[in-house]
Structure 1
Amino acid sequence: MVSDPLIIHRLLKISRAIDRFNEIIGRITLWLVLVMVALGVWNVVGRYVGKAIGQSLTSNSLIEGQWYVFDLVFLLGAAYTLKHDEHVRVDVFYSRWNRKTKALADFLGTIFFLIPFCVLVIYFSWGTIVESWITREVSPDPGGLARYPIKTMIIVSFALLIVQGISELIKNWAIFRGHLQERE
């Protein structure tokens, strides 16, 4: 495996670049939460006020827009969450381990679980997403939104997760080898 300090230093630079990129995506995604809440408030208020005045103030496209923004928050937030080590973990043993053992466990988990899972999701969703683009799939609801752009975000999300997983591999290997004291 990689142990040369110069190579690890270069890999850590790549890791920091990946982290910066996913940090930007994550911060943009945080603002999408406000958009989602605003759409939700409008949909609720519009329904009741519209009923009271006899005028429709909301639509299927606004309701689906709220769902799509939620999808974006969930999908684009995954890599950001991984970067900040906030994914759910069963800490029965992990919490008692030293930092090198944790780094090794995270390294192995990323190689054997995270990255293969992401690759499988991309592989098995690819055909459906391509078909959605070919047919320019649209929601069956009246006034519904196009579905192919939001379906594409599945691939984008899991690709970002793979890239962030690579960053985590680099950092965990550097910690395990003693080239990095703590996760950056």
Structure 2
Amino acid sequence: MSFLISVSRVVDAVNARIGKGISWLILLAILVSAVNAVVRKLFDTSSNSWLELQWVLFAAVFLLCSPWTLKDDEHIRIDIVNAALSKRARDGIDVLGHLAFLLPFSLVMMVTSWPFFFASYAIEEQSMNAGGLPQWPAKLLIPLGFTVLFIQGLSELVKRVAIMSGRLEDPNARAGGHQAAAEAEAERLLAVAPNVGPQDAAHAAPHKN
């Protein structure tokens, strides 16, 4: 188990670095979109390659940052149900979810999308739109994204089993995240609420004109 935990740490570090690097493509997508809009308005011209580049950049961020999101436990949960469960129950749900849903689905996507990409690459597939981009780089993002997500899913499974067996401290419980920060703020407001009088509440409430 200690070896698997060490491998998991390497996977986490690599996917976090990939995610942080790929996230800068959001800025590039904004710049491409802004330039395309300005050129279209000022010169009444545009290019399908600019539009398709925005789609590719968004796909790259969505697919290649998903392992980083999974690592930091920032994926969406049903907080009302999740908060009512014990820590061990939540960990058990995570293990079940990884085994029954995340890993099988990622594996299916890997198996089906790699041939999908290779077929596109073999014929050097181009966009059906005039002046568009080659299609195979965009199609490469699908198997690549699900491959790294599958590897990160294995890492999360190893960590969750180690946490449940007491061999590892939950890094997300210590580091927090958006959800943990929101829970901490909610606890702070609940603690302050009994000490707030009606007059203070009136001042804190939003005013309507």
Question: Which of 10, 26, 29 does residue 22 from structure 2 map onto?
Answer: 29
Once residues 132 and 124 of structure 2 are traced to their aligned partners in structure 1, the CA distance between those partners, rounded to angstroms, is 13
Q: TM-score, normalised by structure 1?
A: 0.88
1:167-182 matches, within 5 Å, as 167-182=155-170
Residues 101 and 176 in structure 1, CA contact (< 8 A), matched pair in contact too: no
Which residue in the other structure is 2:128 paired with? 140
Once residues 145 and 41 of structure 2 are traced to their aligned partners in structure 1, the CA distance between those partners, rounded to angstroms, is 36
Once residues 112 and 79 of structure 2 are traced to their aligned partners in structure 1, the CA distance between those partners, rounded to angstroms, is 31
**Which letter does structure 1 place at the counterpart of 2:17?**
I
Which residue in the other structure is 1:95 paired with? 83
Once residues 93 and 70 of structure 1 are traced to their aligned partners in structure 2, the CA distance between those partners, rounded to angstroms, is 31
Question: Which of 103, 106, 122 does residue 110 from structure 2 map onto?
Answer: 122
Once residues 174 and 105 of structure 1 are traced to their aligned partners in structure 2, the CA distance between those partners, rounded to angstroms, is 15
Residues 100 and 176 in structure 1, CA contact (< 8 A), matched pair in contact too: yes
Deviations 1:18-52 (A, max 9, x none): 0100101110111000000000101111100113x
Once residues 31 and 158 of structure 2 are traced to their aligned partners in structure 1, the CA distance between those partners, rounded to angstroms, is 39
Partner SS state of residue 93, structure 1: helix
Which residue in the other structure is 1:12 paired with? 5
Partner SS state of residue 127, structure 2: coil
Q: Which has the larger radius of gyration?
A: 2
Alpha-carbon distance, 1:92 to partner: 4.2
**Which letter does structure 2 place at the counterpart of 1:41?**
A
Once residues 73 and 169 of structure 2 are traced to their aligned partners in structure 1, the CA distance between those partners, rounded to angstroms, is 16
Alpha-carbon distance, 1:170 to partner: 1.1
Partner SS state of residue 141, structure 1: coil
Once residues 88 and 98 of structure 1 are traced to their aligned partners in structure 2, the CA distance between those partners, rounded to angstroms, is 18
Count of residue correspondences: 172
The runs of 5 or more residues in structure 2 that have no matched partner are 173-209
CA RMSD between the two structures: 1.4
Once residues 102 and 117 of structure 1 are traced to their aligned partners in structure 2, the CA distance between those partners, rounded to angstroms, is 21
Once residues 22 and 32 of structure 1 are traced to their aligned partners in structure 2, the CA distance between those partners, rounded to angstroms, is 16
- Give yes or no for the alignment of 1:46 onto 2:34: no
Same amino acid, percent of matched pairs: 36
Which residue in the other structure is 1:66 paired with? 54
The runs of 5 or more residues in structure 1 that have no matched partner are 1-7
